[in-house]
Amino acid sequence: MQRWALSHRLATSRNDGALSVLTSDLIQRLIPDLRTPNPPAQMVNLIRLIGDHESETGTPFPIIDPAIVSRVGCTGPLAWRQIKGEMSDRGLWRLWSNVRATRGGTQILIDGASLTLKVWEIYEKEKRGHIVGSYGFMAMKFNDPELETLLKETIRPSIKAATGYGVIDLRDVARAGVIDNLLREKIRDSAFILADLTHENAGAYWESGYAEGLGKPVIYLCEQQKFADAKTHFDTNHCTTVMWSSADLGLVDKA
> Residue 17: left (phi > 0), alpha (psi -120 to 50), or beta?
left
Which pLDDT belongs to residue 244?
A: 92
Q: What is the mean pLDDT of the chain?
A: 83
- In angstroms, the Cα distances linking 210 to 28, 40, 160, 188 are 31, 25, 24, 9
- Model confidence at 138: pLDDT above 70: yes
Candidates 181, 223, 233, 242; CA nearest to 49 is 181
Q: Could you give the domains of the chain? A: 2-127 (1.10.10.10), 135-254 (3.40.50.450)
Q: Dihedral sign for Cα 148, 151, 153, 154, please.
A: positive
pLDDT, tens digit, 9 for 90 and up, residues 163-196? 888 898 887 765 444 467 778 888 988 999 999 9
At 142, give phi and psi (nearest 5°).
-95, 165
Task: Describe the crossing of helices 202-214 and 180-188 by its angle, rounded to 10 degrees.
Answer: 50
How sure is the predictor about 254, in pLDDT bands with cuts at 50, 70 and 90? very low
- Residues 162, 164: Cα–Cα separation, whole Å: 6
Which pLDDT belongs to residue 252?
A: 46
**pTM of the full structure:** 0.62
Which pLDDT belongs to residue 212?
A: 92
Q: Which region among 86-90, 95-99, 191-195 has the lowest average model confidence (pLDDT)? A: 95-99
